[in-house]
């Protein structure tokens, strides 16, 4: 124990705060859950945006082939207003 106390006295306040935060990140399950949840939300958001872009691109192709707007909406999930803007 004396060795640990002696070792800790050589750190600055900023270094000690960094060590504590690093320990919390590694060991605190609540913090880990928050980080994992944030990563999952970001991935879902990116996937959703990618799907919307793909749907809009496909709707444009369908519209170019003179497919009815109602069918385009059915297959892409886009509203008729969005399809009309394409």
pTM of the model: 0.52
Angstrom distance (rounded) from CA 83 to CA 38: 32
Reply yes or no on whether the pLDDT at 6 is more than 70: no
At 23-50, the pLDDT tens digits run 777 777 776 677 778 888 888 888 888 8
Residue 14 lies in domain = 2-85
If one counts the domains in the chain, the total is 1
Angstrom distance (rounded) from CA 41 to CA 36: 9
């Amino acid at each position: 124990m004396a060795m640990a106390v002696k070792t800790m006295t050589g750190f600055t306040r900023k270094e000690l705060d960094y060590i504590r935060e690093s320990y919390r990140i590694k060991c605190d399950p609540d913090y880990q859950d928050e980080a994992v949840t944030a990563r999952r939300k970001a991935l879902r958001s990116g996937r959703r945006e990618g799907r919307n872009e793909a749907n809009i691109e496909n709707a444009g192709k369908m519209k170019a082939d003179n497919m009815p707007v109602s069918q385009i909406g059915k297959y892409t999930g886009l509203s008729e207003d969005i399809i009309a803007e394409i």
